[in-house]
C-alpha cells in the first residue's frame, strides 16, 4: 500500500486534462430520469442523490480509477484494523471502533481496545440509567433535571449538535429524560447565562477534557464550582468527568464518576464515545444513544464497499475532490432543511476544516495542490433569506449539500393555504435545488440566474437516532477518504496549537514579542 501525493497519481493528469474540456452541464441534463437514477442508498433509510452534480459517466469512471489508485478502501481497512494512521502523533485512529467492530480485533500490550471501549460504553450508560432513575441526587437530595456539559471544540460542537438534533424527536417519542445545556466559551458571559437559566440544585455537570488540562474548560469548571459553593452546594455531588485514564481528572473524588477515552479518539470524532454518549444517554436514555451508534456502524460498513455506486461516503468524497481540485470551487455549503440540524454545519465545519486544512502531506512535506474546502451553512429556509443571494447570483460557484426529511420530528403541524409547514419546507428545498441547477434567463440582468450551481441531497423519512448516526458517519468517512486522496494526515490538528502557546505567554507576562504585548494591553490583559 502506497501513500502518494495526489498530483503524483496517474489519474490526476487524466482528470486535469478532462477538466480542461467542456465540463458536463447538468443544467441542461437535469430531468426526472436523472433524478431517479442518480441515487445511492445510505444507512438507516437515508439516500444520497447526486443528480445535480457536474459529473457524467466519463468523469465518474476517472473518479473510480482515483479510488483504486489511491487504495482508499485498503487504507480504510488499515485504519479500522489498528494501523498507525495519525502519522503526526504516531497514533491509531479508532473512532469507528466505538460503534462496533468492522475489522479485526485491535490489540495493544495484550489489551483488546474494543473491549475497553465497550466497557466504558456500558459504564456511562449504567450511570445515565442510575441518574434517570433517581439513584444519584444533588447535594440537597433533589433529582437532577438538567445536565450541563462543560467542554470546547470537539467536546462541545458534536455533542451539542447531536443533542439539538434529537431533542424534538425524544420529546415526541417519550424519550426525553433531562434537559441538556452546554458551556464552551471561556467568555464568562457564556457560563453566566447558562448558570442563570438553570436550577443548580437539580443540575449535573459533565466536565469533558481528555488531557484534563484544557485551559478554557478548566476555567469554566472553576467558574461553575464557585457558583455551586456560593449556592451552598457540594460540587462533588454535581459533577462527573469524561477524560483519559492518565489525566488528573481520572479517579478523582471531586467527581461522582469518571469515564474514559484514549488518544486514539480525536476530539472532532469523539461524539460516539463518552464525550457525546454520556450527555446524550443522560438526556434521552442509553437505548437512544445505542440506536445512534447502530446507524453509524451500518454506515461504516457500507463505506467499505469498493463499488462507488454503493458507497455514498466514497462517492461524495470523490465528487468533492473533483469540485475542489479541478473545478476550483474552494467552498462547500451544508444546508439542512431541518431546524433540528441547526448546529450540524458548525460541527462539520470543525470536522472537515480541522482534519483536511493541511498544507503538508503525511510525511510533513509541502504540497502544492488544494486540500480541504471552507465549510459553512445554516438551516433552510433561514439561509434563503440570508446568504443564498450570493450562492445564486454571486461571482463564485459554491457546491451545496442539502439535507431533508419527508416527515418532521413532531406531529403538531398546522395546515395553512392548503399545505402544512413541513410540506412548505420541502417545497422550498425542491425549488432551491432546481433553481440553483437550472437558473433563469431574463432580459433584466438583475433577475437573471446563471444556474449551474452543483448540489447533492441527502434525504430520508425522518431524523431518528439511527438516521443521525448514519448522517454523522457519512461525513466522517467522506472526510477520511478525501484526506487519503490528498495524502494528508486528517487526524492531527497542529493548527490550533500556536495560539494556545502564545496565550500562555500572555497570561504569564513573558510576552517575548512587542506586538503581542501591545495587543494584549489594548485588550486590558
User: Helices (DSSP H) in 231-376: which residue ranges?
Assistant: 274-284, 286-302, 312-321, 344-356
| Other Cβ atoms closer than 10 A to 204 | 24
Burial of 402 (0-12, 13-18, 19+ CB in 10 A): buried
End-to-end alpha carbon distance in the chain: 52
- Helix then strand count (H, E) for the chain reads 18, 17
Residues 6+ apart with CB under 8 A from 125: 277, 281, 286, 289, 290
Three-state secondary structure call for residue 124 = helix
Residue 264 is placed in which grid cell? 486514539
Strand-pair partners of 143: 137
Q: Which SS3 state, helix, strand or coil, does residue 146 take?
A: strand
Distance CA 480, CA 328 (A): 21
| Nearest partner of 158 among 261, 252, 310, judged by Cα | 261
Give the span between the Cα atoms of 478 and 234, in whole angstroms: 45
Look at the block and give the residue holding cell 455506486. Answer: 309
Beta-bridge partner residues of 241: 207, 258
Residues marked as catalytic: 354, 385, 500
Nearest of 142, 140, 147, 148 to residue 234 by alpha carbon: 140
* CB contact set of 78 (below 8 Å; sequence gap of 6+): 1, 85
Task: Tell me the HSE value of 76 on the side-chain side, using a 13 A CA sphere.
Answer: 26
Distance between CA atoms of residues 474 and 400, nearest Å: 16
What is the distance between the alpha carbons of residues 412 and 66, in angstroms, rounded to a whole number? 48
Polymer length of the chain = 525
Phi, psi of 401 (to 5 degrees): -125, 100
Amino acid at each position: 500500500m502506497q501513500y502518494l501525493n495526489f498530483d503524483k497519481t496517474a489519474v490526476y493528469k487524466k482528470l486535469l486534462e478532462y477538466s480542461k474540456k467542456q465540463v458536463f452541464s447538468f443544467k441542461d441534463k437535469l430531468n426526472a430520469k436523472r433524478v431517479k437514477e442518480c441515487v445511492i442508498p445510505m444507512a438507516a433509510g437515508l439516500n444520497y442523490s447526486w443528480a445535480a452534480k457536474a459529473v457524467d459517466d466519463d468523469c465518474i469512471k476517472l473518479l473510480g480509477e482515483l479510488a483504486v489508485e489511491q487504495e482508499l478502501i485498503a487504507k480504510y481497512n488499515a485504519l479500522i484494523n489498528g494501523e498507525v494512521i495519525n502519522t503526526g502523533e504516531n497514533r491509531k485512529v479508532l473512532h469507528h471502533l466505538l460503534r462496533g467492530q468492522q475489522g479485526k480485533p485491535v490489540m495493544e500490550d495484550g489489551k483488546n481496545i474494543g473491549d475497553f471501549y465497550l466497557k466504558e460504553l456500558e459504564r456511562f450508560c449504567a450511570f445515565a440509567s442510575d441518574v434517570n432513575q433517581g439513584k444519584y441526587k444533588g447535594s440537597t437530595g433533589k433529582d437532577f433535571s438538567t445536565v450541563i456539559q462543560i467542554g470546547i471544540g470537539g467536546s462541545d460542537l458534536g455533542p451539542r449538535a447531536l443533542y439539538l438534533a434529537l431533542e424534538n424527536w425524544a420529546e415526541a417519542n417519550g424519550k426525553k429524560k433531562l434537559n441538556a445545556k452546554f458551556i464552551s466559551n471561556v467568555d464568562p458571559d457564556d457560563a453566566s447565562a447558562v448558570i442563570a437559566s438553570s436550577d443548580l440544585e437539580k443540575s449535573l455537570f459533565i466536565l469533558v477534557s481528555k488531557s484534563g488540562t484544557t485551559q478554557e474548560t478548566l476555567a469554566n469548571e472553576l467558574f461553575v464550582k464557585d457558583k455551586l459553593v456560593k449556592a451552598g452546594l457540594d460540587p462533588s455531588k454535581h459533577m462527573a468527568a469524561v477524560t483519559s485514564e492518565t489525566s488528573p481528572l481520572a479517579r478523582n473524588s471531586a467527581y461522582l464518576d469518571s469515564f474514559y477515552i484514549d488518544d486514539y479518539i480525536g476530539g472532532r470524532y469523539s461524539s460516539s464515545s463518552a464525550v457525546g454518549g454520556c450527555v446524550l444517554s443522560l438526556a434521552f436514555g442509553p437505548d437512544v444513544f445505542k440506536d445512534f451508534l447502530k446507524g453509524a456502524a451500518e454506515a461504516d460498513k457500507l463505506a467499505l464497499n469498493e463499488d462507488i455506486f454503493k458507497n455514498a461516503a466514497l462517492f461524495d468524497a470523490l465528487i468533492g475532490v473533483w469540485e475542489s481540485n479541478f473545478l476550483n470551487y474552494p467552498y462547500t455549503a451544508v444546508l439542512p432543511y431541518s431546524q433540528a440540524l441547526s448546529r450540524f454545519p458548525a460541527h462539520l465545519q470543525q470536522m472537515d476544516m480541522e482534519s483536511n486544512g493541511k498544507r503538508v502531506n503525511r510525511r510533513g512535506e509541502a504540497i502544492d495542490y488544494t486540500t480541504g474546502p471552507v465549510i459553512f451553512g445554516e438551516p433552510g429556509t433561514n439561509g434563503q433569506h440570508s446568504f443564498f443571494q450570493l450562492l445564486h447570483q454571486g461571482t463564485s460557484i459554491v457546491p451545496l449539500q442539502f439535507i431533508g426529511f419527508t416527515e418532521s420530528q413532531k406531529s403538531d403541524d398546522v395546515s395553512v393555504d392548503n399545505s402544512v409547514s413541513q410540506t412548505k419546507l420541502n417545497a422550498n428545498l425542491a425549488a432551491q435545488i432546481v433553481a440553483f441547477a437550472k437558473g433563469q434567463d431574463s432580459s433584466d440582468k438583475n433577475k437573471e440566474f446563471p444556474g449551474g450551481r452543483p448540489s447533492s441531497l441527502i434525504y430520508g423519512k425522518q431524523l431518528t437516532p439511527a438516521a443521525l448516526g448514519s448522517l454523522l458517519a457519512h461525513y466522517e468517512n467522506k472526510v477520511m477518504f478525501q484526506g487519503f486522496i490528498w495524502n494528508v494526515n486528517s487526524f492531527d490538528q497542529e493548527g490550533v496549537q500556536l495560539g494556545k502557546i502564545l496565550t500562555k505567554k500572555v497570561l504569564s507576562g513573558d510576552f517575548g514579542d512587542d506586538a503581542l504585548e501591545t495587543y494584549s494591553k489594548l485588550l486590558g490583559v
